[in-house]
Amino acid sequence: MHISLSFHLPPFLYSFAKFLVMKKIIECVPNFSEGRDMHIIKQITDAIESVEGVRLLNVDPGKGTNRTVVTFVGDEKEVVEAAFKGIYKAAELIDMAKHKGEHPRFGATDVCPFIPIANATMEDCIKCAQKLGERVGKELKIPVYLYEYAASAEHRKNLASVRHGEYEGIEQKIVLPDWKPDFGPSKWNEKSGNIAIGARDFLVAYNVNLNTTSVRRANSVAFDVREAGRKVKNEKGEEVLQPGACKAVKGIGWYLPEYGIAQVSMNLTNINTTPVHIAFDECVKSAYNRGMRVTGSELVGLIPLKAMLDAGKYFLLKQNRSAGVSEGELIKIAAKSMGLDELTQFEPEKRIIEYMLADNNSSPLVNMSLIEFANETASESPAPGGGSIAAYIGALGVSLGTMVANLSSHKKGWDDRWKEFSDWAEKGQHLKDELLKLVDEDTRAFNKIMEAFSLPKSNDSEKIARKKAIAEATKYAIEIPFKVMQLSFQTLEVIKAMAEIGNPNSVSDAGVGALCARSAVYGAYLNVKINASGYEDKAYADNVLRQADEILRNTKNFETEILKLVESKIK
């Protein structure tokens, strides 16, 4: 595709990135002490959404807990303003003197944490907590305690310590010197209670369902699993702490009357330390050892995509099955394995934070049907052109190699080799996803060039700005197809391995994959070459072309080797 005709938005799964890089993104997750009256909840979320720039991601009410977890994002100024409006409305509508629920609580807005998501630091979130706390204390006369990273003292870091005694114990606790509020009056606010405002890392609120109605039995599982464990007596009769199985996990047991079950309610404060699937399996083990059974689980609020993908891979590998399947399939396996849809329908697009932040219009090409894509390519529009098609061909080629790997991992009599093929399939899936991103990215690159050429040039400063924009866009239009070349070349390793050791009945598929990979590399090469010809930095252009020529030569040699291997096996 020539630059005078040729090169749009970031790719699928990373389509939210453009939104993120534009400004700091901070997540706020206030918990309101109302989970039954949807009219009240709606008024609170309407107040939050009234702030321009804020995106409401999730509203998760619980009848048994009588509590609603709300998740929204924005920059520092936006999230503080939206949080204040939500707290203000909750103070107006919720009377804590009448509140009853299973979850520990001590205020109409019980907690309000800030979490760094993109281009934001924990220090930014601490400042948000301090600004909000000062305003809530001053304007609403609600006692405020700062917790976690925003805590003003060591004994206030742990939310459980701050909230200890709950609403019923505030009147006595608030007058103690150690529990003087950070902001607001040091006296009991009977209607609104207190509020804990903090800054913390991303936390996953996760509940595991048990086939019992006993809170005591649910607590026994929670104590087995949570980091704090339980108090036990040693051989001297002294009480000591016996740690639980999972670090960075807090948990208690409770009963949910609307479902007639008890749950282990957990906060996973570091999912790199204890992932969701490990917390789930530890609950399964503990419940089984205590004569119970885990029947499912539920998420409260949002979860990162990686946590779901890791869970899907974990459960597939436990079954000695290939983990090299699509993202959608991994999420499905994770949800089914952990029973995330037992109580309510699990909808990934409403529960996974990356999906909630995604711009669904940013990957128009890869979201088309095959017919739509072909028709769009054949239309009078100059994009998608050769660069996008090359990326797509590369994705199809490695998809064939990945298919052979997955078929081989399930082949009867090859049970001892399933992990080897699973590893190849995972590598193939990764390359496929990266190439699919570049289908739309190539069109984005073309659009950048067109936009640069359309800039005004009526005076010297405009001419300089236009020239600079054209140069930057042209360089980008070289980089994208060059990336397609690199990735498509890498796919040949997967394809060759499958031609050599994969299911012999599918060797022709590996051959077609090699042909696709070679076409992808060559097609992208033509785009690199034509765009480099118009780039003023000749040293840069010549260096890229030297690398591109080498990739093309190696690709042709690789393709020849694979096709000979395929032909020999077919004969």
CA 571 – CA 566 distance, rounded (Å) = 9
CA 31 – CA 60 distance, rounded (Å) = 9
Count of residues making up the chain: 571
End-to-end C-alpha distance for the chain, whole angstroms: 39
CA 379 – CA 354 distance, rounded (Å) = 33
Contacts of 172 by beta carbon, 8 Å cutoff, 6+ apart: 165
Kind of pairing between the strands at 204-210 and 261-268: antiparallel
Which among 140, 37, 15, 12 is positioned nearest to 83, based on CA atoms? 140
Token reading at 94:
């919720």
The C-alpha angle with vertex 527 and arms to 525 and 533, in degrees rounded to 5, equals 105
Residues 421 and 408 sit within 8 Å (Cβ to Cβ): yes
507-532 and 460-501 helices cross at what angle (nearest 10)? 160
Token reading at 205:
């609120």
DSSP letters spanning 323-355: ----HHHHHHHHHHHTTTTSSS---HHHHBHHH
Q: 421, exposed or middle or buried, with CB in 10 Å at 0-12, 13-18, 19+?
A: buried
CA 559 – CA 281 distance, rounded (Å) = 45
- Is 410 annotated in the active site? no
Radius of gyration (C-alpha) of the chain in whole angstroms: 28
Distances 483 to 436, 443, 459, 547 between C-alpha atoms, Å: 12, 14, 36, 11
76-93 and 122-135 helices cross at what angle (nearest 10)? 40
Quick check: helix, strand or coil at residue 423? helix
CA 54 – CA 153 distance, rounded (Å) = 31
Distances 56 to 49, 83, 273 between C-alpha atoms, Å: 6, 11, 28
Q: How many CA atoms lie within 13 A of 389 on its CB side?
A: 18
- Is 103 annotated in the active site? yes
Which among 267, 138, 95, 114 is positioned nearest to 197, based on CA atoms? 114
User: Which residue of the set 60, 75, 110, 442 is catalytic?
Assistant: 442
What phi, psi does 4 have (nearest 5°)?
-75, -15
Kind of pairing between the strands at 204-210 and 195-199: unpaired
User: Which residue of the set 103, 182, 281, 440 is catalytic?
Assistant: 103
Q: Which are the catalytic amino acids?
A: 103, 442
